[in-house]
Amino acid sequence: MTDTLHIGDYAYSSWSLRGWLLYHRFDIPCRIAVVDFNRAESVAAQLALPPARTVPCAELSGGGLAWDSLALAEELACRRPEAGLWPTDPVRRATARSLAAEMHAGFATLRTLCPMNLRLAYAGVPVPAPLAADLARIEEIWSFALAQSGGPWLCGEYCVADAFFAPVAARIAGYGLPVGETAARYVARHLSDPAFRRFRAMGLVRGETLARYAQEHATTQWPGPAPEAAQAVDRGSSVNDICPYSGAPVAHFLGFRGRTWGFCNAFCRDKTLADPTAWPAFAALVAAAR
């Protein structure tokens, strides 16, 4: 059996990004169930898993329900010690736990003024004093952790603290917020991370655009790596007969690097179209067909 992870809209749910990364960045199998933020029915009602009211929420295969992202991180670390969610070094582990806890409880101004929106990026965003204070604190603790560990992630190897700060990196990048060189490099590392890119790719193609998340700022291009070009095609003789993700027969097609590739459904095709090289299964298929 595998866990079932309930998340919200990929493009907008920063807390869901944390939970999703806890599974996918540490190779922990799970089934994904998506709650629709655009339905009149509440998140709690859609979940139907009392007392859970928000996402992410995980139905754990060994029994139990984790309806808080920090609780989920700790429970996965206990149940899957081989996954390495926390650093093994006790000094770095103490730092990582402090970072994750502070992120979990703080930075209210950043959350309020800059809601995560992976479909848009903004330019010329004003930075009032409370937001500047949040950014200064983020830079302080990031710099401390990176100096202690030597990087490349906050505590050396990727850990829970990095998963928790991925939405912060998305906000700093998406709103063009001013940070120093060390923080900017750390933000860029998140934007280039294939797991983050896969989550964003799904956010670009799944669900509706929710106007309530839009801000009255000038828009600009997303500052992360530009995806390699690909095109949806109506039909064709594809290199592969089965979908690289599901193993089901292909019915939808994509043009990439001069060849046609098949997928079992439109979502599999479209998430690949959004960022082809972010998907290991597709990349392996392309490499094997050379």
Residue 232: how many other CB atoms lie within 10 Å: 13
Tens of pLDDT, residue by residue over 93-106, are 999 999 999 999 99
Burial of 85 (0-12, 13-18, 19+ CB in 10 A): buried
pLDDT at residue number 130: 98
Is the preceding omega at residue 249 within 30 degrees of 0, hence cis? no
Query: 274 and 181, same structural domain?
Result: no
**Do the domain assignments include residue 207?**
no
pLDDT at residue number 288: 95
Using a pLDDT cut of 90, give the percent of the chain over it.
97
Tens of pLDDT, residue by residue over 124-176, are 999 999 999 999 999 999 999 999 999 999 999 999 999 999 999 999 999 99
Best CA proximity match to 244, nearest among 274, 265, 275 = 265
Contacts of 5 (CB under 8 A, 6+ apart): 19, 20, 23, 30, 31, 32, 33, 56, 57, 58
Query: 183 and 141, same structural domain?
Result: yes
Q: To which residue do tokens 């206990």 refer?
A: 78
Q: H or E segment at 5? A: strand 3-7
**Do the domain assignments include residue 217?**
no
Distance (Å, rounded) from C-alpha 40 to C-alpha 51?
20
Query: 181 and 117, same structural domain?
Result: yes
Residue 133: how many other CB atoms lie within 10 Å: 14
Domain end point (choices 198, 217, 246):
198
CATH number at residue 74: 3.40.30.10
CATH number at residue 162: 1.20.1050.10
Tell me how many domains the chain contains. Answer: 3
Distance (Å, rounded) from C-alpha 234 to C-alpha 253?
6
Q: Does residue 236 have a pLDDT over 80?
A: no
pLDDT at residue number 1: 80
**Do the domain assignments include residue 161?**
yes
pLDDT at residue number 194: 98
The whole domain housing 265 covers 231-288
**Do the domain assignments include residue 263?**
yes
Model confidence band, residue 214 (pLDDT cutoffs 50, 70, 90): very high
pTM above 0.85, yes or no: yes
Query: 97 and 69, same structural domain?
Result: no
Query: 94 and 77, same structural domain?
Result: no
Tens of pLDDT, residue by residue over 239-283, are 999 999 999 999 999 999 999 999 999 999 999 999 999 999 999
Tens of pLDDT, residue by residue over 173-192, are 999 999 999 999 999 999 99
User: For the chain, what's the residue count?
Assistant: 290
What's the CA angle centered on 60, arms 279 and 78, to 5 degrees? 90
CA 270, distance to chain mean position in Å, is 17
**Do the domain assignments include residue 138?**
yes
Q: Does residue 215 have a pLDDT over 90?
A: yes
**Do the domain assignments include residue 8?**
yes
